[in-house]
Structure 1
Amino acid sequence: MNEETFLEAAETGDMETILGLLNDGIDVNTKDTHDRTALLKAAKHGHKEIVELLIEHGAEVDHRDNRGTSALYWASTNGYYDIVQFLIEHSSDVDVHDNRGWSAKDQAITHHHDNVVELLNSAGAH
């Protein structure tokens, strides 16, 4: 129950619930049935403060779900420049590819997030 609540809070941006469950000792790398973590969900939905908090609490920056996607992949896909930058600063793999062979940079290009593409390029993405 707490795991589902934690993951849903990361997706919806519910900082109070995230803080409470972290303080209660929940595993920051808890996964859903698709291997998605709170970090991946927060990054996908643009919740930068939650991304920062989760990483502070030891979230695995490059965890990949069952489709091979990561927090950086989703932040790039959705054009969340500040989250992409933060993840890069915390040693996220800029060349991560999903199971279809698409990279975070490919996703940023496809969705016309030119500033994210430039950021990934400057971080050495191929």
Structure 2
Amino acid sequence: MASSEIEVVSSDSKTQKNPTEVPVIDVFSASAYGDFQKLRKFVEQDGASLSNPDVHGYYALHWAALNNFPDIAQYIIEHGDDVNASENIQQTALHWTAVQGAIAAADVLLQNGARVEAADVNGYR
């Protein structure tokens, strides 16, 4: 294309796909990527549990907290996940919000009883 030509690109999202888009296949990826609609489908229609960790020991709440999705975090708490559940090195979702500076998600966790004094295996609170 010559430099004086203008390329018209459609803004229709139905025809444009992000080639690096990660598929949302379970409650963990829905929580991590903020796909509330799919999260609700997995839980309410498919019967997926929010109180069990993934294969790496991380909970859906950890992923929502890490990526600062407060509405998803609230939904997860309301549908069965323990706000103080910890993963393999004893970090809670509140630890993960601290790492990212995810203040809105931290606020939801604290309002729902997250323990500030919970320490991981390294003693970090």
TM-score by length of 2: 0.75
Q: CA deviation at 1:100?
A: 1.2
Which residue of 1 is the match for residue 30 of structure 2?
9
Mapping 1:43-122, distance limit 5 Å: 43-103=65-125
Q: Which runs of 5+ in 2 are unaligned?
A: 1-24
Q: Which runs of 5+ in 1 are unaligned?
A: 104-126
Aligned residue for 1:29, secondary structure, equals: coil
TM-score by length of 1: 0.74
Query: What letter is aligned with 1:56?
Result: E
Tell me the distance in 2 between the aligned counterparts of 1:99 and 1:67.
Answer: 5
Structure 1 segments of 4+ aligned residues over 3 angstroms from their partners: none
Aligned residue for 1:52, secondary structure, equals: helix
Matched pairs, number = 100
Q: Which has the higher helix share?
A: 1
- Retained in 1: the 8 A contact 2:66–2:100? yes
Query: What letter is aligned with 1:82?
Result: A
Tell me the distance in 2 between the aligned counterparts of 1:30 and 1:9.
Answer: 15
Tell me the distance in 1 between the aligned counterparts of 2:81 and 2:53.
Answer: 11
Q: 1:39 aligns with which of 61, 77, 88?
A: 61
Tell me the distance in 2 between the aligned counterparts of 1:5 and 1:26.
Answer: 8
RMSD: 1.2
Aligned residue for 1:74, secondary structure, equals: helix
Question: Radius of gyration: which is bigger?
Answer: 2
Which residue of 2 is the match for residue 29 of structure 1?
51
